[in-house]
Amino acid sequence: MKGSATRIMMRRVAGAAIALLLSVPLFAFQPSAGQESFKAVPIDQIPPTEQLPAAPLLIAAYAFAWIAVFFYVWTVWRRLNKVETEMRALERRQSHRGEGAPGVNRTSLP
């Protein structure tokens, strides 16, 4: 129960990792740039309309970095909240038990 959030997260990470690994052959079989039927053109001769714009790649890189950090902080915060909730529930259970029949010796708890 206590590690279920971690397990769900790890399952998602494992799923993503497996998907990434399975996609490796697709990249591996990409045609090479030096095929005989094509002719290379120096980059400075490519018209501006045909050039790959850099800005979207730059924005995507910075956006991904921020999303990754915020996502990680969110997962830690969520796990911390869950642990604190469980601790409070456990303490309530123990205090109820302490009022009735002798149960857990609370002084021995950390």
Partner 1 sequence: MKKLFVPLTIVTAALFAYAPVAIAGAPYESTMLLVQKIFYFHVPSWMGMYSAIAVCGGASAVHLFKNRPAADRLAVSAAELAVMFGAIGLVTGPLWGRKAWGVWWSWDVRTDMAFLMWLVFVAYLLVRTYGGPGSDKLAAAMGLFGTAVSPFVYVSVNIWRTVHPLNTVVPELIGGSMPGAGLPFAVSSFAFLLLFALLLALRVNLASRQAVLDELYLAEEDGAA
Which residues of the chain form contacts with partner 1 (CB under 8 A)? 2-3, 6-7, 10, 13-14, 17, 27-28, 30, 33, 52, 54-55, 57-58, 60-62, 64-65, 68-69, 72-73, 76, 79-80, 83-84, 86-87, 90-91, 93-94, 97, 103-105, 108-110
- Residue whose structure tokens are 């018209």: 47
Closer by beta carbon to partner 1, 39 or else 91: 91
Closer by beta carbon to partner 1, 47 or else 110: 110
Please report how close the Cβ of residue 4 comes to partner 1 at its closest, in angstroms. Answer: 11
From CA 6, how far away is CA 69, in angstroms rounded?
Answer: 17
Q: Tokens at residue 37, please?
A: 């039927």
Residue 30 burial (C-beta neighbours within 10 Å; 0-12, 13-18, 19+): exposed
From CA 42, how far away is CA 81, in angstroms rounded?
Answer: 57
Please report how close the Cβ of residue 11 comes to partner 1 at its closest, in angstroms. Answer: 8
Please report how close the Cβ of residue 32 comes to partner 1 at its closest, in angstroms. Answer: 10
